[in-house]
Structures are given as structure tokens and as C-alpha cells.
Structure 1
Amino acid sequence: MTRLSVEMLAADAAEPITSAGDAQLGIAVLAGIAVIVVLITRFKLHAFLALTIGSLALGALAGAPLGKTIVSFTTGLGTTVAGVGVLIALGAILGKLLADSGGADEIVDTILAKAGGRAMPWAMVLIASIIGLPLFFEVGIVLLIPVVLMVAKRGNYSLMRIGIPALAGLSVMHGLIPPHPGPLVAIDAIGANLGVTLALGLVVAIPTVVIAGPLFSKYAARWVDIEAPEGMIPQRATEDLEKRPSFGATVSTVLLPVVLMMTHALVEIVVDDPENPLQRVTAVIGSPLIALLTAVIVGMFTLGRAAGFSKERIGTTVEKSLAPIAGVLLIVGAGGGFKTTLIDIGVGQMILDFSKNWAIPTLLLAWLIAVAIRLATGSATVATISAAGLVAPLAADMGTAEAALLVLAIGAGSLFFSHVNDAGFWLVKEYFGMNVGQTVKTWSVMETIISVVGIVFVLLLSLVL
């Protein structure tokens, strides 16, 4: 169990910082979330500030002393950043090395050279899924969409037939597969096993991305038949490179942290003895920190040095990779602060008490909560963090597999129906040259399919595990 998980459970066991009744707590939660929603959607306030203000409003409306509310928020912020922040930073470095070295282009060019005709949508899913593993969703879009536009133009393909599979691959990785920020925070908040969550996440992700990607793209291409906009097709970004890393080296580097984490998960299941030397070794090399750090160090050679980068150039690449994630770290941290405030005022216990009389399954409840917050705020990360905080007490008596499925249910709910309050909606709209209606018919529907299919497979797995 991670340090953050232990601290979270300790917080659950502590006395609430307010003596408010369930009715007042319920009103405080709704009002706190409403404050966050209004600040983000109407006043366009940064999510970090909105979450901070919403947490203070939550505590005040619940009757908690301001000093204790501040302590709860800052404690949650600190422990969340401590547990997840380093992993986010390492993922950003790996993604930047992948992009700047030309490794991403090598993956794209190699697969596209071997694909054509009906195989192209499947190739785009594969490209997006591989590249999407270490990249934030927005970075993945910026990296992949120009490639999508070039492929559609050069091969005379329908833009939606090529674009939807790529977007589906990125979105599924973002919502269901660590080391993306949302799943990582949910894993820590719920106390789930990262390796098991990763393994089950891949089981859910594969059929989900197939249905929402290549299969749905057939219908999306009929509904919105457009060509790649000329003004959005840029020049390749790696023309100044002397050489590029090989396809095998690039893919191996990207998949290295996933392999290390899954190896630990498999050994843990097969051996099931914390004192076993093999399990102790894999526990170290398969920990998220060591796995990602190993991939970054390896990537400096297999990606950076292979592209002819000097030591100074690699240092510059690493430095540039960290600046853009400052906002993400603050949002994730503030989301952790909001979550801890929810727990400390006693909301977790309130939901736990109420849920005993609910006929709705816990996994479906977690999905519905994430859906509601996603629709309201437009942020998958905020939805994941907030929903994880609300349902974390329900995971106290869960087994390893069930806790992992709870994380995946939240992740699936966080992707439901992206619309005008989501930055990703406008990013896709502008890159593809669509109007709002066309974006809803394609991107928004695709996100909804991912969410619904994802929870269906999570529920099916819960029946057999």
C-alpha cells in the first residue's frame, strides 16, 4: 500500500472536523461542486483556483473551522503531489524525449508504411495507443493530429475514418491507463494496486478502443464527411535531426515502464509472498517511480543519444518538458486537497452509510458520480480526482481486483460526453476544421461510447473476478 493510501485511510478513521448532520453535509458537497463548476465554466477561472475556492466553500458550508479546512486542503494537496507529482514529471520527460528525438515519427512512419486501405484505421489506433502511453492527452493531440491530417490528405482518406481511431486511442489511454495523472491519483486515493489496475485497464481498454475507434469511425465518417483542412497541415518537426532512433528501440523504451509494472503485478499474483526474493526485487523495479525513472534514463540513450543529441541538448529537452506540466500538477494537487477536505468533514462516511441502503452497485455508483462531475466541469482529471475522493471509503473492504475495477469505473465515467466546457472539445474542433455540431456528432459521441463501453466491461469483469 502506498504512503498516500495509508494517510488517506488514517484520515478516514479520524474524527470529522465538523459536527454537521448528513443533510448539511449533502448541501455543502453540492454547493462546493457547484462553486467549482461555475468558476470553471462561467468565469473561466483556472481549475487550480476553482478547486481551492471550492474546497474552502465546502468546509465553510459544512460548518468546519476555517483553520482546519485550510489544514485539510493543504495536507491533501501535499500528499497528492508527493505521491503523484514525480510520476507526472517523469512521464512528461519521457514524452518530450519521444517527440523531440523523432522517435514518435519513427513509430508513425514505420506502421503507416506497412498499413493501407482498410488497415489504416487500425494502424492509427495502434499508433495513438503506443504514443499515448507516456503522453498527456493534449500533448498527444498536438503530436498526432498533424500526422492524422497528413495521412488523410496523402491517402485520400475520410478525415473521420482516420482521426476518430487516433482520438479513441489517446482518450482511452488517458482515462484508464496509468501513468496518466487521473488514474494515478485514483489509484492512490482508493489504495488500489497499480500493477493490477494497469493489467485490468489494458483488458478493458482493448475492446473499448476497438469499438469506439475503428468501428465507430465508419459511422462518424458518414455523419461528418470532411477533408483535412489545408491550413492545419504543418511541416514535420524533426527535419533538423541528423538521424532518428530505430523503431524497435523507440517502442521498447515506451513500453519499458509498462512491462516492469506488469511484471511486478504478475509475480505478486503468482508468488504471493512479500518475503520472497523475486517478489522483493520486482516490487522495487516495478514501482511506478523506479519504472518510469528507468525508462527516462534509458530513453536518454535510446532516444536522445540515438538522435545525435548532445548532453546539453538532452538537458534542454528535459528542462522544457517540465514547464508545461506546472498547471497539471497544481490542478491534480488541488483536486487532492478537495478530496481530503471531503473526507475530513465526514462526507466519505456519509456516503458509506447511505450506500448500505442503495440497490445500485458500487462500481456503477462511482461511474455515475464521475459522469456527473465530468459533465459539469468538462475536466476528466477533476472528475476522476473528485469521484475518487467521494467513493474512497467504499473501497476499504474491497479486494485487490475490485479496488482496481473501482479505479477503472471512475476513469470510464470521467470521459463521458465531452462538450463545450472541455478544452479538448475545442482543440479537436479547431484541428479538424469542424463546427460545433460536427464536433458533437463525432468527438462527443466517441467519448460517450468509450465511457459506456468501458463501464460495461468493468462490470463484466467484476462478475468473473
Structure 2
Amino acid sequence: MSPVFAIGLAVIAVVALIVLIARFKLNPFIVIFTVSLAVALVAGMPATTVVKSFETGVGNALGHIAIIIALGTMLGKMLAESGGAERIANTLVAWFGPKNIHWAMMLIGLIVGLPVFFEVGFVLLIPIAFNVSRKTGTPLLLVALPLIAGLSVVHGLMPPHPAAMLAVTAFNADIGHTILVALIVGVPTAILAGPVFAKYIAPRIILPEENPMAAQFVLTKDAESLPGFTVTMVTLLLPVFLMLLGSFASLFTTKGSMPFQVLGFIGNTDIALLLAVILSFFTLGFSRGMSRETILQFTNDCLAPTAMITLLIGAGGGFGRVLIDSGVSHAIVTAATGAHVPLLLLAWLLAAVVRLAVGSSTVAMITSAGIVAPIAAHLPGVSPPLLVLATGAGSLIFSHVNDGGFWLVKQYLNMSVGQTLKSWSIMETIISITALILTLLLSIVM
């Protein structure tokens, strides 16, 4: 398949998705499924393998995200029903003041996002954004976008995230040095893409007054009846703590030993969230006078609004898999590799191309690092930590309809496809380009 044909096919497919969903208001899942089939057939895939390819992509996407959404939503529901989310919102407002709350949300995103995947941090923290928005009367986007920017920056640029760690290994970069330059690049990037951009875009996007997801997480209670701030934060941050233990288990245990295996098990994303949800039943449920029947009802009822989110994320994964299996993604990457550009720009460009074609920032970062690392080994003089950052920056560019994060943000914030492109997708692009520019500037002095 020629690169020109592959690029043209991918562009037509994405435009068709956006037009059919945003302009003609067709069911997003049906549209993504249909366009995916059309792309596969036009690209020359055997008809007998087309559906299997889409199903594989759906399964791969949901295998990671469905459990996270379910457990994260249950934890968020317990935070809401107990008043824990409101307690955190009240405390943040008291500490930072209503006028600076968007800066507080960015800071929370940067800190909580360090050890967890973007999706995990999002479902953990979005109930707090809903409550802060209601408490202060601040537009939801002005609260949520800085939070999301903080999560996204550390997800793409900062070890110990798996993709960043793989890039560190591929480029043989020093992890301490990489973390240092990631902070130098990441903090100003998060500021520009978060509070600064949110301040600009929030007044220009009017969200519907009714938000089904926010409704189940925003509940007003008497201040005296709210759980304590400490017990609420311990419950919320338990999965973060457990994932950190799992990530750094090798520092204080022997690899392969029983303690190492135990820490690795409880540090698994799914297990850490499961333990946090179970803990919430006691700290935010039984201790607040809730019965087992009440907790069961909460955990059952909160899942209904997540059905479409989960389905759309799966469909995005299916679309991305079809692009891979049909050879479209490979042809596009081949074209990008053939471009004669500086190594830092090549790492960014390859990651950006894969991100646009496949949707997954993790896949984009891993793929780009695998291609560029052998080239970098024969071209001394380029800082390995900066190659990690350039790759991570490229992997975050313009999230759109083939990315699960796009649908997660869209559905939780109750935005249209057009509004999501104007806010979330542009925010991701700001992160990508700003991080690239700062990385290139650092390369002058390093």
C-alpha cells in the first residue's frame, strides 16, 4: 500500500467519522463500526478477517479500560454518597480560594497522575471536579481541563508510566535525569494547556445544564455530616499508593521473591482499585451508617451511565486495530520514517503519526521508541532523556475519535463531538507542541 493512499484513506475515514457523528447526529458506535469495516475493505483486507480485527481491537481496549471505569465509578459513587467528594471540594476551595481553584486542580492532576494511567486518574478525580464546579459556581471546563492537563502531561512524559519507562529503556536513558527534565518541560506545559487554555476556552463552550454523570456524583449534605478530610483522602489515594509500591517494589525487595510478587499483585491497577472500593465500603459506607443493601444499590445504579462510554471506547479500539491490521498505520509510519529530519523531530513525528492513526498514546510512544532507538544508537550527541520527552510529546497530539480518552472526556463532561475537539483535542495538541518546543530548547543547552 502506498503511503499517499494510506494517508488519504485515514484522513477520509476520520473526516467521515466526525461529520457523521457531529453533523448528522448518527449513533457513534454504529458509525465507528461501519467506517472501520469500510476502511478495512478499501485497504484490501480479506472480508473474512475484517470483523475479527475489529472485535480484537474492541476486546483489547475494553480489557484494560472496562474494569477501570467500573471500579472507578463505584469509588466515585461512594465518595459522592458519603459526602467525601464534597469534603475534598470544600477543603480545596478553603485552601486555594474560588479564584485559584483551576490551579489547584492542575496540581492534583500532576501529583495523582504520577503513578497511574490517565484513565485511572480521570475516573478517580472527576467527581471532585464536579463538586468543585458546583461549590464555586465555576464553569466545569475551567475546573476539569486543568485537572485533565495535569494527568495527561505526566502520563505522556513522566516515568514510571509504562510507556515512558519502555522509552527510557529503549534509549538507554538515565531515569533520574529523565524525571528531572520531564519536570522542567512538564510543569510549564501543564500550566499553558491547563489553567491558561481553560481560562480561554471555558467561556466559549456552553455545556448543557443537565449532566447525567455529574448528577450521581454531586450531592449536597450538611457540613457536619461529611466524612473527615483525612479518611477521605486515604481512601481516594490508596490505589495511587499501592501502584507506587508495585512500581518500586524492586528497590526494597528481591525480584522473584514472595514480597516482590505480593507488592506487584496489589500494585496492579485493577487490584489497587478493587481494594480501594472495598475500603470505601467501610470508611465511607458502613462507618457513615449505610447498610449493605444501600451500598449494593449505589454500586449497581452508578454503572448504568457508563455503558455508552465503555462501548465507545471499545469501538475506538476496534477502529485503531483495523488501521493496524489493514496496513494503513504501517504505511503512514514508513512515510514518516523516510523523512529526513533531525532525530528529536523524527521521534516526535513518528509518535504523532501513530497517535493520529491508532489513537493510543502508549502504542504511539512504544512504536516510535522502537523505531528511533536503533537510529539513535548510531548517532551520538542526542540526549537520551530528551528523546524520551520528544517521543512522549508526539504521542499526545490531537486525540480524536479513535482514542478511548476522547470518548471518556466527552461523555463525562457531557460535550458534543465538536465541543470535545475544540477543548480536549486542542488541549492535547497544546501539550504536544509545547513539550516539543521546550525539549528542542533544552537540546541547545544539554
- State if a TM-score over 0.5 links the two structures: yes
Match of 2:265 in 1: 284
Match of 2:136 in 1: 148
Separation in structure 1 between the aligned mates of residue 62 and residue 104 of structure 2, nearest angstrom? 36
Separation in structure 2 between the aligned mates of residue 404 and residue 282 of structure 1, nearest angstrom? 29
Match of 1:357 in 2: 338
Match of 2:146 in 1: 169
Match of 1:249 among 204, 207, 231: 231
Deviation at 1:464, TM superposition (A): 11
Is contact 2:398–2:426 with CA below 8 Å preserved after alignment?
no
Deviations 1:251-302 (A, max 9, x none): 111111112212222334x479642444322211111111111111111112
Deviation at 1:91, TM superposition (A): 1.2
Match of 2:19 in 1: 38
Q: Gapped runs of 5+ residues in structure 1? A: 1-19, 150-158, 374-382, 416-421, 430-435
Separation in structure 1 between the aligned mates of residue 424 and residue 320 of structure 2, nearest angstrom? 29
Does 2:261 align with 1:265? Answer: no
Separation in structure 2 between the aligned mates of residue 397 and residue 282 of structure 1, nearest angstrom? 33
**CA RMSD across the alignment:** 5.0
Counting only pairs closer than 5 Å after superposition, residues 194-343 of structure 1 correspond to structure 2 as 203=183, 206-213=187-194, 237-239=219-221, 243-268=225-250, 270=251, 274-343=255-324
Separation in structure 1 between the aligned mates of residue 181 and residue 83 of structure 2, nearest angstrom? 28
Separation in structure 2 between the aligned mates of residue 457 and residue 94 of structure 1, nearest angstrom? 37
Deviation at 1:107, TM superposition (A): 0.8
Match of 1:49 in 2: 30
Match of 2:376 in 1: none
The letter for the 2-side match of 1:71 is K
Is contact 1:115–1:123 with CA below 8 Å preserved after alignment?
yes
Relative to structure 1, the CA distance from residue 76 to residue 407 in structure 2 (aligned partners, 3 Å threshold; closer, same or farther) is: farther
Relative to structure 1, the CA distance from residue 33 to residue 125 in structure 2 (aligned partners, 3 Å threshold; closer, same or farther) is: closer
Relative to structure 1, the CA distance from residue 297 to residue 200 in structure 2 (aligned partners, 3 Å threshold; closer, same or farther) is: farther
The letter for the 1-side match of 2:248 is L
Deviation at 1:326, TM superposition (A): 0.9
Match of 1:4 in 2: none
Match of 1:88 in 2: 69
Relative to structure 1, the CA distance from residue 310 to residue 114 in structure 2 (aligned partners, 3 Å threshold; closer, same or farther) is: same
Q: Name the SS for the 1:135 alignment partner.
A: helix
Counting only pairs closer than 5 Å after superposition, residues 87-166 of structure 1 correspond to structure 2 as 87-116=68-97, 122-123=103-104, 125=106, 133-135=121-123, 142-149=130-137, 166=143
Q: Gapped runs of 5+ residues in structure 2? A: 114-119, 169-174, 374-383, 401-408
The letter for the 1-side match of 2:31 is A
The letter for the 1-side match of 2:134 is P
Separation in structure 2 between the aligned mates of residue 201 and residue 58 of structure 1, nearest angstrom? 40
The letter for the 2-side match of 1:56 is L
Is contact 1:187–1:407 with CA below 8 Å preserved after alignment?
no
Separation in structure 2 between the aligned mates of residue 262 and residue 201 of structure 1, nearest angstrom? 21
- 66-75 or 306-315: bigger deviation: 306-315
TM-score normalised to the size of structure 2?
0.69
Match of 1:58 among 10, 31, 39: 39
Match of 1:410 in 2: 395
Relative to structure 1, the CA distance from residue 459 to residue 254 in structure 2 (aligned partners, 3 Å threshold; closer, same or farther) is: farther
Relative to structure 1, the CA distance from residue 391 to residue 125 in structure 2 (aligned partners, 3 Å threshold; closer, same or farther) is: closer
Deviation at 1:215, TM superposition (A): 5.9
Relative to structure 1, the CA distance from residue 453 to residue 139 in structure 2 (aligned partners, 3 Å threshold; closer, same or farther) is: farther
Number of equivalences: 394
Is contact 1:60–1:66 with CA below 8 Å preserved after alignment?
yes
Match of 1:419 in 2: none
Deviations 1:290-338 (A, max 9, x none): 1111111111112222332211111111112211111111111111111
Match of 1:376 in 2: none
